[in-house]
Structures are given as C-alpha cells and as structure tokens.
Amino acid sequence: MKIAVYGASGFTGGLAAAELGRRGLSPVLVGRDAERLRKAAADAGVAGAEVRVAGLDDPRALAAAFDGCDAVLNAAGPFALWGEPVVRAAIAAGCHYLDTAGEQVYIRHVLDTAGPDAERAGVTVVPAMADDGGPGDLIAHLTARELTTVADLLVVDARRPGAASRGTARSMSAVFDAGPLEYVGGTWRPATGGGSWIAVPGEAEQVSLTPFALPGIVTVPRHVPAGRVRSGIRTEVAELFASLTPDVVDSVPEVLDQEARSTNRWLMLVEAVDDAGRRARGWATGPDAYGLTAVIAVEGARRLVAGGAPAGALTPAQAFDAADFLDALAPHGVTWQIA
Ligand SMILES: NC(=O)c1ccc[n+]([C@@H]2O[C@H](COP(=O)([O-])OP(=O)(O)OC[C@H]3O[C@@H](n4cnc5c(N)ncnc54)[C@H](OP(=O)(O)O)[C@@H]3O)[C@@H](O)[C@H]2O)c1
C-alpha cells in the first residue's frame, strides 16, 4: 500500500511518515523542497522512502507526484491557504484523500464541493482526520444513536491548555479570527449565546466553555439529523488562541519534543438532548495529540485503500464504522465511552 504524505517536511507530516513506516506501509514524501523532505524521511526512520517534489502552484506536477499512490494524506496547513490544490490533485491522480485539518471553513468547503469529482474518480475524500475532527465526529455519531431524535448536540474539545506546534497555532489563530459558528435548522450561522459550564469526565469541578468552531460543527450535521449543533473549547484554551498574534505564532516551536507530547492528552466530549429532554453523553480520549493524529490519519488511509467506504466527500463517521475505528485505536491508549 503506497501512501503519499503531502507536507511531509512538517511536524505532523513527519509523524505520519514515521507511522506509515512502523506499519510496513510505503510512504512517499511529497512537498516543495527536496532537501527538507529527505531530512524528514531520515528523521522519520524511513530514509529509503521515495521523495517527490511538487509545489502547490502547478496542478499537473502535483497530480503527477501522486501518480501510482493509493491515497494522499495531506498535512500541509493552514488548509484554508494550501489545502484545495492538494485535494484536487489527489482526485485527478485517482487517489483517496485525507487530511489533518481543524479549520471549519475549509472542511465545509471540501465537503460541499469535492463530492461530485471524487465520485466520478471513484475515490473517497475525508477531511478532518486529526485528534479532534476524527474522534469528535465518530463519538458524536455513537452518542446521537442513543436517542431517537436529537434536538441539540454539543461537541466539546475538553483538553487542558498544553503545548501546540507552530502549524497548529497558525491554523487555530485563523479559526479563532473567523469566529464561532453553530448549526441551526439546516444552516450554519454565527454562534449565539456566550460561555457555559460542563462536567468533564475525571474532573471534580465543572469546566468553563467558550463557543469555538470545531470540525464537528460542519461534519456532525451531515450524519446526525440534529436541530442544533454547537461546539466549544475550554475558556482557558480560547484565551490562549485569542492571544495568538502573528509575532506570538512565530515564537511557537515548530515541533514538540517527546516530553511535551507525552503530557498532551486530548478529550472529545459530546452531549446530546432529545425533544423530550432525555440526554446522552459520550467521550473519547487519548494521549499524545500529535502522535495520535498521525495514527488516526494513517488508519483512515489504510481503511480507505482496503475498501468499504463509498466514493465521494465524506465525514469520518460517514466513511468509517465509528465504534470499530475507535476500538482500533485502543493499542495507542485511546478509550471511549457512551454514558
Ligand atoms: N486538528 C488537529 O487536531 C490537528 C493535529 C495536528 C495537526 N493539525 C494541523 O495540521 C497542519 C500541519 O501542522 P504542523 O504542526 O505539522 O505544521 P508545520 O510543521 O508548519 O508543517 C506544515 C507543512 O506544510 C508545508 N507547507 C506550508 N506552506 C506550504 C506551501 N505554500 N506550499 C507547499 N507546502 C507548504 C510545509 O512545507 P515546508 O517544509 O516546505 O515549509 C510543511 O511540510 C496544521 O494546519 C495543523 O493545525 C491539526
């Protein structure tokens, strides 16, 4: 199985190349700079892996760089700036496509527009296969299944403040600036209402939440017929995102060392309420947000290539069996529960 990693010279792309190597899959490292890609291959423990150079401004070269690959895993963000040419080239090359995007405007654009071309090419496009968008969408699907109707569904990224890469800081600063969204009555609109409080598994005190547009805002309504879908993050984390001026972003380290990664636990929490006020709650959690993002994206790529997902542009829960996918992450320390 041959998987191209676009943006393989970056932090997340390098982790994805390493994960592919660990699984005995063949990574092809693709990006705009041969030297950085070769260094990334060596750092990822796949020094012999193929390196192909293609910038984003040449669609033919980009599609040629994906030629013969089964899937493209895109880790070059911010995706709102750089994502579209990679999606288009992957489809043109007849490859399945996934990415690690957390930017809701971009994710919505891909889900809204890439489907017809992907169907014609017989490939599946799944944006948002990272530690928030992947498990968040999957656990929302499993939680909503507990109710016969869903009046309101809240997706929460309940992780505590922790180290992030410069690429994440740059992307999340843009999401913060775009403002929070909510899904109401079949459409998206700026989120109304302010902060709230929520009980988080494993924590004695309620946690303060601030509305924030997580990927679930655009993915969950595509498979859960909910009246309203909202999302939020811890107020402490929202305050950090609000402080991300361009100078601050440039001062964030490009990569996290092993110690920072080991303390970087993620937790996606979903609460759903039906028309009669009955509640369901579910969560998925795991260690090492960046390492797990690589595992989630690679597992998704492996499943797409193995077959079973329909062609088109799909959310994680539309493309994969939610419980089976989360169970497959157990060896990496991921647990999940519906209460
Ligand atoms: N949602 C989540 O939970 C989650 C988790 C992990 C990552 N992510 C997302 O994944 C993305 C990558 O994060 P990161 O920390 O890995 O970032 P990074 O280390 O800065 O890597 C960015 C990659 O994109 C490439 N790139 C940037 N601009 C480019 C351009 N104009 N043309 C071609 N390639 C370009 C870079 O190539 P060069 O080396 O040539 O500059 C590099 O390979 C971010 O958007 C981040 O938010 C999300």
Give CA–CA dist 183/151, Å, rounded: 11
pLDDT over 90 (residue 262): no
Q: Which of 9, 12, 255 to mutate to test the pocket of ligand 1 (most atoms within 8 A of CB)?
A: 12
Measuring from atom 8 of ligand 1, which residue has the nearest CA?
100
Q: Which of 6, 11, 19 to mutate to test the pocket of ligand 1 (most atoms within 8 A of CB)?
A: 11
Segment 70-76 shows an average pLDDT of 98
In this prediction, residue 192 carries a pLDDT of: 86
Residue 61 CB partners (closer than 8 Å, separation 6+): 54, 55
Segment 16-31 shows an average pLDDT of 97
Distance from the alpha carbon of residue 136 to the mean position of ligand 1, in angstroms: 21
In this prediction, residue 171 carries a pLDDT of: 87
Measuring from atom 46 of ligand 1, which residue has the nearest CA?
168
Is pLDDT larger for residue 110 or for residue 257? 110
Q: What percent of the chain has pLDDT over 90?
A: 88
Contact 212, 175 (CB under 8 A): yes
Distance from the alpha carbon of residue 26 to the mean position of ligand 1, in angstroms: 21
Residue-range definition of the domain harbouring residue 167: 133-289
Query: DSSP code of 66?
Result: T
Judgement on whether residues 215 and 296 belong to the same structural domain of the protein: no
Residue 71 is assigned to a structural domain of this protein:
yes
Nearest atom (ligand 1) to Cα of 266: 3
Segment 14-38 shows an average pLDDT of 97
Residue 92 is assigned to a structural domain of this protein:
yes
pLDDT over 90 (residue 12): yes
Distance from the alpha carbon of residue 309 to the mean position of ligand 1, in angstroms: 26
In this prediction, residue 317 carries a pLDDT of: 98
Measuring from atom 31 of ligand 1, which residue has the nearest CA?
82
Residue 86 is assigned to a structural domain of this protein:
yes
pLDDT over 90 (residue 123): yes
Judgement on whether residues 281 and 313 belong to the same structural domain of the protein: no
pLDDT in tens, 175-231: 888 888 999 999 999 998 788 999 999 999 999 999 999 999 999 999 999 999 999
Q: Residue 120: pLDDT band by 50, 70, 90 thresholds?
A: very high
Hey, is 210 helix, strand or coil?
strand
Residue 55's Cα: distance from chain center in Å?
23
In this prediction, residue 259 carries a pLDDT of: 86
Nearest atom (ligand 1) to Cα of 7: 43
Judgement on whether residues 101 and 47 belong to the same structural domain of the protein: yes
Distance from the alpha carbon of residue 5 to the mean position of ligand 1, in angstroms: 11
pLDDT in tens, 86-118: 999 999 999 999 999 999 999 999 999 999 999
Give, in order, the Cα–Cα distances in Å from 148 to each of 57, 219, 225, 275, 338.
48, 20, 10, 9, 15
Distance from the alpha carbon of residue 144 to the mean position of ligand 1, in angstroms: 32
CA atoms within 13 A on the CB side of 320: 29
Ranking 23-27, 132-136, 178-182, 323-327 by mean pLDDT, the lowest is 178-182
Distance from the alpha carbon of residue 118 to the mean position of ligand 1, in angstroms: 24
In this prediction, residue 293 carries a pLDDT of: 98
Q: Quote the number of domains for the chain.
A: 2
Judgement on whether residues 276 and 174 belong to the same structural domain of the protein: yes
Hey, is 252 helix, strand or coil?
coil
Give CA–CA dist 67/334, Å, rounded: 34
Strands 196-198 and 279-286, bridge-based pairing: unpaired
In this prediction, residue 159 carries a pLDDT of: 95
Distance from the alpha carbon of residue 61 to the mean position of ligand 1, in angstroms: 20
Measuring from atom 35 of ligand 1, which residue has the nearest CA?
76
pLDDT over 90 (residue 31): yes
Judgement on whether residues 281 and 138 belong to the same structural domain of the protein: yes
Segment 22-34 shows an average pLDDT of 97
Residue 257 is assigned to a structural domain of this protein:
yes
In this prediction, residue 179 carries a pLDDT of: 84
> Residues lining ligand 1, CB < 6 A?
7, 9-13, 31-33, 36, 55-56, 75-79, 82, 100, 102, 130-133, 165-168, 171, 254, 290, 293
Closest CA to 337 of 273, 270, 241: 270
Residue 330 is assigned to a structural domain of this protein:
no
DSSP H or E segment with residue 116: helix 115-121
Judgement on whether residues 87 and 171 belong to the same structural domain of the protein: no
Distance from the alpha carbon of residue 150 to the mean position of ligand 1, in angstroms: 36
In this prediction, residue 174 carries a pLDDT of: 82
pLDDT in tens, 139-180: 999 999 999 999 999 999 999 998 889 988 998 888 888 888
Q: Residue 288: pLDDT band by 50, 70, 90 thresholds?
A: very high
Domain CATH number, residue 75: 3.40.50.720
Residue 305 is assigned to a structural domain of this protein:
yes
Q: Which of 79, 100, 104 to mutate to test the pocket of ligand 1 (most atoms within 8 A of CB)?
A: 100
Average pLDDT over all residues of the chain: 96
Judgement on whether residues 160 and 42 belong to the same structural domain of the protein: no
Q: Which of 38, 126, 168, 254 to mutate to test the pocket of ligand 1 (most atoms within 8 A of CB)?
A: 168
Give CA–CA dist 72/126, Å, rounded: 10
Give CA–CA dist 20/44, Å, rounded: 10
Distance from the alpha carbon of residue 189 to the mean position of ligand 1, in angstroms: 28
